[in-house]
Structure 1
Amino acid sequence: MSRQKITDEQISNFVKEIVQRTFENLSFDTNKIPKKIIQFWDNSEQLPTDVNECIQSWSQLDSLGYERLLFNNEKAREFILEKLGNKYTNAYDKCYHPAMQSDYFRLCYIFIEGGCYIDADDVYSGADINYLFNDNRLKIQPLCYDISTQSMVSPSIFTKVGAYSSSWIFYFNNNPLIAKSKHPIIEQALSLATLLLLESDTSDSLPEIQSTTGPGNITKSITNILRETNIEEQLILVLTDWENIAKSKWPLSYRNDARNWRLSNCQDFKDSNLSGFYEKKF
């Protein structure tokens, strides 16, 4: 199918069909994803205590053979430069907020190494996650936002077959991001984010975070790939129960200042003395 521009409504409807579809007798590549948990906090010397508690909740996986890696801005940039080169480093340098840096870095890391990227504000419940690493499909969390109530819709509601409201927006989160290296959807998302960042004139206006590097980017990339291949069951596993595995902690100290991406979207964060992370929902 030839690539053509589709509307936001068409993307939302496409995601809805994927989320509410069930598959039986699946056959897919069983090459396993590396058992690595990757996280990011831009300034490791200014890691808030409450965020560190969220990060440490995943330490119980250490005894199960998982490797946990925490990157800061400097280490993330070094990784991108070493593994991908100047083009991608230049794109990373245009990420003006820690939220954007973490968005872009996770695409770079998962594309090169594979593994599981998790936001630093997610608290692990202790549930089994081994099944997420047993095949090389992209594991992705669906979300649904209700414009009329300005609130998220519960997965127990929007994932039911036929559930729909004209005020709902279906999309995919980029947290968690679990995939093999060189996954075609991650490759597409990284390519799109790189293009948008390099084309942006940050001296004139700053690009919108979510659509450039965040959930909007991954949703569009999934839609582009799956509309062309029509083999979503081979490429992705929709995680309708991720909230049983981890939940984003509220409140956290950084959410009320410029470290929260919502309060800094399209604004120059580099002039601020604050640095940190963010949560990833509408």
Structure 2
Amino acid sequence: MGRRFKVDIGPVTMASSADPLTPLERDRSNFVRGLVQRRGDALGTPSRYARPTPKRIVQFWDDLERLPPDVENCMKSWRRLERVGFELDVFDRDAARSFIGARLGARHEAAFDRCYHPSMMSDYFRYSFVLVEGGFYIDADDVYHGAPIGHLFEDGRLKLQPFCYDIPTGQMVESSIFTEPGADRPGWIFYFNTTPLIAAPQHPIVERALLNATASLEAHPSNVLPEVQASTGPGNLTRSVFEVISEARSSESFLVAHDWEMISTSKWPLSYRNDSRNWRLSNQQEYRAASSLEER
């Protein structure tokens, strides 16, 4: 359940007439812009992250018995990588909950239960799985185009896809534009997508993303539904990248996947995007699974 294009970024507080972002939001956006527009890897891979990332592909759909055929076709596109040594595994809600409870304990299992929408469940599960096992999480609606990806698994650094959203127009900015050094506009906000999520086990940014998501879910009263993006989604992940790299004063644990769109893109349209299974239509609302009529 992805967030590739036409993505909401969550609530943005108007800081001033000149800048639609608050000072903290602007600091984070500028930080991401710096990472995204920096080119080259002059220092190479640090020894701490020299071990390869497991060639394990993990996906999630909350109810596999009601998996939409068009989403299933997207998921099948990744199976060709099994021929070159990748493992592929798909989890539903029950399997994800069991994994989290068994490998991370009761606190994290309870936090997963607070995820009121399947999109949040997929976010929380991806942090949990990649932290414990390492590997490659990809959303169920992403289509693999066939380009080689082995180079992304040669070391244990975290690889993420950058995004840029233009607040005044409500449109995503093309990556060929916003990744150019110096490119910026007052209404642009730079951030990282949660898919793909590629990292070795126990990666500090993934650990922080899980910690922040857990704390955010726990902080909301049971009768208040948290905002999806900020609590578990790209807002949470971007915040975690910002915190860990700022504290370490080093970005050695991280690599921007600039050319990810050559490897995979999220498919539009898909049937589930028109009903409650689309998180944009269910954000901060009680989730009710789509009826059989909606699925047709």
Bin for the TM-score computed over the shorter chain: over 0.9
The percent identity for this pair of structures is 50
Deviation at 1:25, TM superposition (A): 3.7
Shift of 1:26: 1.8
1:273 positional shift: 4.2
2:158 to 132, 135, 138: 138
Q: In structure 1, how many angstroms separate the alpha carbons of the residues matched to 2:216 and 2:226?
A: 8
Alignment of 1:186-205 (within 5 A): 186-203=206-223, 205=224
Residues 277, 290 of structure 2: 8 Å contact kept = no
Q: Offset of 1:193 from its aligned partner?
A: 0.5
Tell me the CA shift for residue 240 of structure 1: 1.0
| CA–CA separation in structure 1 for the residues paired with 2:142 and 2:55 | 18
Distance 2:88 2:30 in 1: 36
- Determine which of 221, 238, 247 is the counterpart of 1:228: 247
Query: Which one of 236, 250, 256 corresponds to residue 274 of structure 2?
Result: 256
The alpha carbon displacement at 1:231 in A equals 1.4
After TM superposition, list the pairs within 5 Å mapping 1:8-87 onto structure 2. Answer: 8-22=25-39, 23-28=41-46, 29-87=49-107
Give structure 1 regions of 4+ aligned residues with deviation exceeding 3 angstroms: 271-275
Q: Which runs of structure 2 are paired with 1:150-161 in the superposition (5 Å)?
A: 150-161=170-181
User: Per the alignment, do residues 84 and 201 of structure 1 end up closer, same or farther by CA in structure 2, a change over 3 Å counting?
Assistant: same
1:27, distance to aligned residue in structure 2 (A): 3.4
User: How is 1:237-252 mapped onto 2 (pairs within 5 angstroms)?
Assistant: 237-252=255-270
Q: Is the 1:259–1:274 contact (alpha carbons within 8 Å) kept by the matching residues of 2?
A: no
> Which position in structure 1 is the counterpart of 2:285?
267
TM-score (norm 2): 0.88
C-alpha separation in 1, matches of 2:117 and 2:152? 30
Q: Structure 1: which amino acid aligns with 2:254?
A: I
Q: State the one-letter code of the partner of 2:282.
A: S
Alignment gaps of 5+ in structure 1 = 276-282
| Distance apart, 1:272 and its partner CA | 3.7
- Per-residue CA deviation, residues 84-136 of structure 1 (Å, 9 max, x unaligned), is 11000000000000000000000000000000000000000000000010000
How many residue pairs get matched?
A: 268
Q: Note the 1:198-217 alignment, pairs <5 A.
A: 198-203=218-223, 205-217=224-236
Identify the residue that residue 280 of structure 1 maps to in structure 2.
none
Letter in 2 for 1:238: V
Write the distance in 1 (CA, Å) between the matches of 2:167 and 2:290: 34
SS at match of 1:127: coil
How far apart, CA to CA, are the structure 2 residues paired with 1:170 and 1:145?
A: 7
CA distance in 2, matches of 1:120, 1:8: 29
Aligned to 1:109: 129
What is the SS of the residue equivalent to 1:7?
helix
Q: Shift of residue 202 of structure 1? A: 2.7
Q: Does the Cα contact within 8 Å between 1:258 and 1:274 map onto a contact in 2?
A: no
CA 274–207 in structure 1, closer or farther in 2 if over 3 Å, else same: farther
In the TM superposition, residue 6 of structure 1 has moved relative to its aligned partner by: 6.6
Superposed displacement of residue 148, structure 1: 1.8
**Equivalence for 1:128:** 148
- Aligned-pair CA distance for 1:274: 4.9
Structure 1 residues 163-195: Cα deviation after superposition (integer angstroms, max 9, x where no partner): 010110000111000001100001111001011
1:185 pairs with 205, 208, 211, which one?
205
Q: Distance in 1 between matches of 2:26 and 2:255?
A: 22
SS of match in other structure, 1:160: coil
Distance in 2 (CA, whole Å) between partners of 1:136 and 1:223 is 19
> Which stretch shows the higher mean deviation, 192-201 or 216-225?
192-201
Deviations 1:224-251 (A, max 9, x none): 111111211x111101110000010011
CA–CA separation in structure 1 for the residues paired with 2:133 and 2:207? 12
Letter in 1 for 2:117: H
Aligned equivalents of 1:252, 1:273: Cα separation in 2: 14
Tell me, yes or no, if the aligned pair for 1:140 and 1:237 is still in contact at 8 Å.
yes
